[in-house]
Structure 1
Amino acid sequence: MEAGANSLNNVVSNPPETVSVRSTEELMAKSIAPVKREFLCPPSVKTSDSNNVNDSDVKKADVNYETSTPILKEKKSKRQLKRERREEKKSALHLCPEVAKSGKVSSCRYNERCRFSHDLEAFKVQKPDDLEGSCPFLVNEGPCPYGLACRFAGTHRDNDACVGNGTINSHKKDNETNILDKDFQKLLWKNKVKFPKADASLKLLGLLGNGKGKKMVDGENVDENFANGTEKIDENGCCKVPAVLVNEVDSFLAVFEEDEKHETDLDDELRLSKKTKFMVDETCSVQHNNGQIQQKEEVDKSSGHNEQQTIVEHIIGDTDKSLKLHPHEKKLIDFSQRLYLAPLTTVGNLPYRRVCKALGADITCGEMAMCTNLLQGQASEWALLRRHSSEDFFGVQICGAYPDTVAKTVELIEKHCTVDFIDINMGCPIDIVVNKGAGSALLTKPMRMKSVVQASSRAVDTPVTIKVRTGYFEGKNRIDSLIHDIGNCGASAITIHGRTRQQRYSKLADWQYIYQCARATPPGLQVLGNGDVFSYLDWNIHHTDCPELSSCMIGRGALIKPWIFTEIKEQRNWDISSAERLDILKDYVRFGLEHWGSDSKGVETTRHFLLEWLSYTCRYVPVGLLDVIPQKINWRPPSYFGRDDLETLMASDSAADWIRISEMLLGKVPTGFTFAPKHKSNAYDKAENG
């Protein structure tokens, strides 16, 4: 559809709100975007008529366009979904990938035992019509890896009709890294992967255990040695003995155990023994003054204190040299003044990050991955760690509840992935994450929070960063009291989202509190702010008001208008046209087909994530339509006409209209297709909406 297409009364099926004549100040006070009056829809106009759309511009889909709410999916049981998948694989449309690549039934090594269809003729009869455009893999050397199953098979060259040897096209492998190896995945399934660095780090911190030797202290699982008096706990649940002292006590105990039992095994040397001769008396006060340890009880001089201390240092050095790293010896990472695209659940996939990189983003980060799922070798979770070659400054974000889980995960990622930093999410507000003790739940357990940071940063050379919210409960910010300890635990940077977990997204971010934390940060810890950055003016204000701030992370602002990175770099409000916005969507679709595949499954996967993204972009109000610029992120768009048909269509908050946009790029949706946005991002009146 061209920008100058014929005008129509309105193609918006479900406008956000019809606004009566009010002053600009009144609209802004009610968080309604002050759209110019000539573009506003009259209150009496019913905007459900979509028959004026030119059939050549927007293809009709078998969906209900008259609905005023998103189309809801029917909830199915796991058994029903499994049965449907099994039946789908038996259909002729579910052609064996090897047969599709080569065009020969004999190419499948499983023959009759293959779970996929080998009926080429039936597949050709039932296969949907090819989509308009050319195969996204034709720009590369070699044939399309999807062969006959490609929805652009008609554009394949004769010599590229089949792969021949059945190998996957190398283009995807060359451009994407951090792909889970199948043999290694099997080792994860069988729990046969070792984590020497993580185990050594946890032992030095007294956090290693198999679960049997743990007790509950103030609602937290702690090591049995901790609960038995090796470390004392005050009435607030805080340790009286600093973690540094615990390491030294553990080491001393290990040395004495070696003298008594004459054991040479490293695990036994570092293990706390109940029979050890050296015990810290409950009445013994341990003080920490300027890094010096003073004890009221004196160790027997005949024990050879100096010699034993040398042995302790030797043991620690042999265990893992990385554990001795001074903070300045770790790999350095600089976030200063760089445009950081936030890790975004569902929408922040690899194709979307490629779009943002092309529009000026400097730093990208993968979607949040759960540590337990990564350790279990789940392919879907490992897919969140994928990195494209265009992402020159890339990190991954993980989420876990306990130090051992997180430490093992960071070691796993450092060994098997190529990343510039690893971010630990301690601010996710989603119930399913918080109920497992991860995400924002860690904000209520500062001891465990510090242990997670310390154990993970000691286990790897890769810089470890964390992302938090200001606190858990509204009105009870607490990061300012923890930030100094977090810096001493080994984190390279901390990103502070200016809301509590309880607030979700219901209020504006508290940037004054973020500034307060940035000014109180110890040397060596970089602070990044996050929340409501929606224009280059917002970016400038934050860096002017608080020079101590290293950078700003951009999340929802980039979802609504990914060209915000261009605006910041060029210091302007870009009045982008609908045609330019459509070009961005075309790039996303092309990247999606390259990533998820150009067969029917890949096309529908690309469509699904495109629709999720469109549920955010409908919030954008073009600069040329506003009385006051720039737009604020909490402004709700009223019902308005665009400057052309496509701009009007893009303003709709109806799932039916998003589907129509997807059909312009990916063809007609399948029969019975339904969609509802995962995060309810087109709603404004609920706190959980992002």
Structure 2
Amino acid sequence: MATTVTPQDAPASDPVQVAGVAPIKTEYLKPKNDPAKQNKRQYDTALLDQAEEQGAYQEQNSEREAKRVKLENQPEEPAADIPSIPTDESAKPKKRQKRPRGQNKKRDRIAVWDEVTICNEVAQGKTCEKGKNCRWSHDIDAYLANKEEDLGPNCPQFDLFGQCKYGIKCRFAKAHTDTEGKMIVDKEKTASIAEADVFKNAGLREFQKALRTRKVELRKADEYTLWYNAAKLRRQEINEGINILPGTQLGQSNGTSGKSEGLNGDDGGLQNEVPRSETATDGLMDDNAEIKQEIVRDTSNGDAGEADASQTEAALGKVPNGGDVAKQENKSKIKEKAVNTTIFDEKHREARRKILEKFDHDPATIRFRCDRKKPLDFRGKTYLAPLTTVGNLPFRRICKSFGVDITCGEMGMVTNLLSGQQHEWALTKRHVSEDIFGVQIAGNSVQTIVRCCEAIKQSGIELDFVDLNLGCPVDSITKIGAGSALLDQKAKLYDICAGANYVLDDTPFTVKLRKGISTSKPVAHKLLPLFKQAGVSLVSLHGRSKEQRYTKQADWGFIKECSNAVEDLPLFGNGDILSPQDYWHQIEDEHLDGVMIGRGGLIKPWIFTEIRERRVWDISSGERFDMLKDFAKCGLEYWGSDTMGVNTTRRFMCEWMSFLYRYIPVGLLEVLPQKMNDRPPAYYGRNDLETMMASPNSKDWVKISEMILGPAPASFNFVPKHKSNAYETDNYEG
């Protein structure tokens, strides 16, 4: 039974509370010498031990040993006690696998299949059209002889759709198999509901194939790319013009011949490529003409000075014994001319900078802003942040059941989407319960991001907005120039946002970013006016820099300064929200439109209920276990109820539990609320299940999954993809 704790019931702050350590009541603390105590060091050691058991670090250790031996001038070979990596001589060479993503890269990929892989058609009681040419087994008796026991009496697929597409492969097959071994179909239910009615944005295989074969015409993106390339050249010409020396023809570089820069209205041939209405140089002619006249006047004066100096030098050269005087006066003239030239250069460069600034904000770009955008009113709504790996569709369903308003799919890479990769387009799937849903993308170039946005628009998927990731701090993303690496490229960001906004037509375009790349040099406040001008519908700002990742505290003071800086641009804050008190404290800012919740939703998804009902929920371990059972049901409906689907659900459940274990029950805390970056000392729960749920050992997470999904296969050895904690202190006993 859930209990409610009001802020008045919270105990007073403990004066001896250690900074960075969660204040847990003394009676629940484990003894310091308890071998089962859990802290960050033990957690990391557990992960390393599991990885070593899998042999994941074997190759790395061999390389390190080889380097050590080499330094000792020994033969360059691994030490004898280093075990060799087993190889299969008879195995055929395989394609090079992609490098694993995530922070714990040295982990095995978990893909568990049946011992006998039977044909899908045969499993459903149908006849396989491929016959003997089918690559899968048609031997039903052999399959059933090796199949593991059913996991329960009710099949989630059958209960939802009235039939199970996995047939005898289903781990709940008895629920829809008659006494003769035939599959049962509930015709009434199948007539009323289809899979496409529950899981939206599926069935895109033909469109993905067309993308792969480049048969999808992205006309608006091509139109924008044409303008962008012309604008890029024009911007480059203006930039080069800033460094032109006085006395040279404008449009030439330091006296060398070159293409005319077009200050008299000539665009250097760009008008032949782009119609006048599509260029970004309209309205510059008058300003350029004035600047040109001013520069010509200054240049003329400079030439006159040169002539006077030459005449003086010639005259002095004819005067007897006047050589020294001539040299002194000539040096004086040269110095005076250098001063005049410097003044001219500064005036010239300042004039060119004004042209560049006007060009970058030229009204012609308004042509690429759509005025028919759907209204995007998120003010006061709760927003679950897009979360890689753990922000999957079944998890979002759990958050919807707790009352979240806005959800967004996992980040998809634009290059993978444009190449029609199935696993990337699967990230755009949407459950029918997600009433406000968006898709997040990441990329590093103007053309690919704009083309991807139009491809998403043409695909016909149901969504309410498209979000651009400018906040991902992961090295594998930033090294290719995507994510937070774009924050220092102001002009490029404007081109991306303007183009995406244009090709998406009436679909709103939003961005999620961090305060900057470097903590000491925040840039987000400088980008907000740019986003507003480019037509961005909403900005979500994380109060940390890229170099901070998830350490230190989020800078909500900076977020609120940004919210006051720009009007008519909806802004959501993000960072360290783990309680309703945190949420309502930040939402008090009248200029802040809302708060986005990321890790707080992973650690305790019932935070959305707490926010809506304005209470602290002391949720029991039994209620949390029921939540995990609901996740398993959602996972089996989405990933499937066969062996592969069951263990995919198990893996993502364990990934989620790598965050869930960080929750500290309300009844165990001396001071409320729990803080995101406070590390808990090792503690006992109020019952065995609560104690197990607090364990940082992934073997305990697998045990919990076995209580719901049955025994895990022997080959299932889980290591989480991400390190969920961001604790700062590591020097206390717990």
The TM-score with structure 1 as length reference comes to 0.76
Are the aligned partners of 2:658 and 2:696 in contact in 1 as well (CA < 8 Å)? yes
Are the aligned partners of 1:341 and 1:361 in contact in 2 as well (CA < 8 Å)? yes
CA change 1:513–1:93 in 2 (3 A) is: same
Deviation at 1:323, TM superposition (A): 7.5
Deviation at 1:25, TM superposition (A): 3.6
Does residue 219 of structure 2 align to residue 196 of structure 1? yes
One-letter amino acid matched to 1:564 = I
Deviation at 1:367, TM superposition (A): 0.3
Does residue 27 of structure 2 align to residue 71 of structure 1? no
1:458-481 per-position Cα deviation (integer Å, ceiling 9, x unaligned): 111200000000000121111111
Partner-residue secondary structure (3-state), 2:540: strand
One-letter amino acid matched to 2:499 = A
1:592-646 per-position Cα deviation (integer Å, ceiling 9, x unaligned): 0000000000011001100000000100010011111111111112111111111
2:559 aligned to which of 514, 527, 551: 514
RMSD: 3.9
One-letter amino acid matched to 2:413 = M
2:467 aligned to which of 390, 406, 423: 423
Deviation at 1:415, TM superposition (A): 2.2
1:43 aligned to which of 9, 32, 39: 32
2:490 aligned to which of 424, 443, 446: 446
Deviation at 1:454, TM superposition (A): 0.9
Q: What's 1:541 paired with?
A: 585
Are the aligned partners of 1:323 and 1:459 in contact in 2 as well (CA < 8 Å)? no
CA distance in 2, matches of 1:80, 1:560: 39
Are the aligned partners of 2:150 and 2:172 in contact in 1 as well (CA < 8 Å)? yes
CA distance in 2, matches of 1:285, 1:643: 80
CA distance in 2, matches of 1:96, 1:666: 24
CA distance in 1, matches of 2:667, 2:397: 27
CA change 1:493–1:234 in 2 (3 A) is: farther
Q: What's 1:309 paired with?
A: none
CA change 1:69–1:572 in 2 (3 A) is: farther
Does residue 112 of structure 2 align to residue 112 of structure 1? no
2:501 aligned to which of 452, 457, 461: 457
CA distance in 2, matches of 1:572, 1:229: 59
Does residue 586 of structure 2 align to residue 566 of structure 1? no
CA distance in 2, matches of 1:454, 1:505: 30
Unaligned segments of structure 1, at least 5 residues: 4-22, 50-65, 209-221, 236-247, 259-265, 288-293, 297-321
One-letter amino acid matched to 2:587 = H
Partner-residue secondary structure (3-state), 1:470: strand
One-letter amino acid matched to 2:547 = Q
Deviation at 1:252, TM superposition (A): 9.5
CA distance in 2, matches of 1:356, 1:397: 18
1:374-401 per-position Cα deviation (integer Å, ceiling 9, x unaligned): 0000001011110010000000100011
2:142 aligned to which of 109, 122, 129: 122
One-letter amino acid matched to 1:355 = I
Partner-residue secondary structure (3-state), 1:677: coil
Q: What's 1:470 paired with?
A: 515
Partner-residue secondary structure (3-state), 2:618: coil
Rg larger for: 2
CA change 1:583–1:507 in 2 (3 A) is: same
Q: What's 1:413 paired with?
A: 456
One-letter amino acid matched to 1:532 = D
Q: What's 1:184 paired with?
A: 207
Greater helix share, 1 or 2? 2
2:236 aligned to which of 227, 245, 252: 227
Are the aligned partners of 2:574 and 2:595 in contact in 1 as well (CA < 8 Å)? yes
Q: After superposition, where does 1:187-336 map in structure 2 within 5 Å?
A: 187-204=210-227, 206-207=228-229, 223-229=232-238, 284=289, 324=367, 329-336=372-379
Partner-residue secondary structure (3-state), 2:468: strand
Partner-residue secondary structure (3-state), 1:442: helix
Q: What's 2:572 paired with?
A: 528
One-letter amino acid matched to 2:468 = I
Are the aligned partners of 1:89 and 1:115 in contact in 2 as well (CA < 8 Å)? no
1:143 aligned to which of 160, 163, 184: 163
Percent of aligned pairs with the same amino acid: 42
Q: What's 2:412 paired with?
A: 369
1:664 aligned to which of 685, 701, 707: 707
Q: What's 2:41 paired with?
A: none
One-letter amino acid matched to 1:540 = W
Deviation at 1:89, TM superposition (A): 11
Does residue 654 of structure 2 align to residue 654 of structure 1? no
Does residue 638 of structure 2 align to residue 595 of structure 1? yes
CA distance in 2, matches of 1:359, 1:279: 55
CA change 1:376–1:615 in 2 (3 A) is: same
Q: What's 2:685 paired with?
A: 642
CA change 1:486–1:269 in 2 (3 A) is: closer
Unaligned segments of structure 2, at least 5 residues: 3-12, 39-44, 60-86, 98-107, 245-261, 297-364
Deviation at 1:522, TM superposition (A): 3.2
CA distance in 2, matches of 1:660, 1:489: 51
CA distance in 1, matches of 2:572, 2:715: 45
Deviation at 1:45, TM superposition (A): 2.7
CA distance in 1, matches of 2:374, 2:715: 52
Deviation at 1:511, TM superposition (A): 0.3
Deviation at 1:361, TM superposition (A): 0.3
Partner-residue secondary structure (3-state), 2:158: coil
CA change 1:552–1:91 in 2 (3 A) is: closer
Q: After superposition, where does 1:346-365 map in structure 2 within 5 Å?
A: 346-365=389-408
One-letter amino acid matched to 1:162 = M
CA distance in 1, matches of 2:486, 2:50: 36
Partner-residue secondary structure (3-state), 1:508: coil
Are the aligned partners of 2:414 and 2:448 in contact in 1 as well (CA < 8 Å)? yes
Q: What's 1:10 paired with?
A: none
CA change 1:348–1:286 in 2 (3 A) is: farther
Are the aligned partners of 1:92 and 1:122 in contact in 2 as well (CA < 8 Å)? no
CA distance in 1, matches of 2:270, 2:524: 40
Q: What's 1:495 paired with?
A: 540
The TM-score with structure 2 as length reference comes to 0.71
Are the aligned partners of 1:484 and 1:522 in contact in 2 as well (CA < 8 Å)? no
Deviation at 1:371, TM superposition (A): 0.4
Q: After superposition, where does 1:10-21 map in structure 2 within 5 Å?
A: none
One-letter amino acid matched to 1:125 = A
CA distance in 2, matches of 1:675, 1:90: 16
What is the aligned residue count? 574
1:623-673 per-position Cα deviation (integer Å, ceiling 9, x unaligned): 011111111111112111111111111010001101100100111111122
Deviation at 1:202, TM superposition (A): 3.1
1:462-509 per-position Cα deviation (integer Å, ceiling 9, x unaligned): 000000000001211111112111111110010000000000011110
CA distance in 2, matches of 1:31, 1:645: 26
Deviation at 1:404, TM superposition (A): 1.2
Deviation at 1:232, TM superposition (A): 6.1
One-letter amino acid matched to 2:525 = D
1:246-288 per-position Cα deviation (integer Å, ceiling 9, x unaligned): xx99x99699967xxxxxxx9778898xxx9x9979974679x
2:432 aligned to which of 363, 367, 389: 389
Q: What's 1:578 paired with?
A: 621
CA distance in 2, matches of 1:164, 1:573: 45
Are the aligned partners of 1:148 and 1:161 in contact in 2 as well (CA < 8 Å)? no
Partner-residue secondary structure (3-state), 1:139: helix
CA distance in 1, matches of 2:507, 2:477: 25
Partner-residue secondary structure (3-state), 1:394: strand
CA change 1:328–1:195 in 2 (3 A) is: closer
Partner-residue secondary structure (3-state), 1:138: helix
CA distance in 2, matches of 1:230, 1:161: 75
1:24-52 per-position Cα deviation (integer Å, ceiling 9, x unaligned): 4443x421111111111122333289xxx
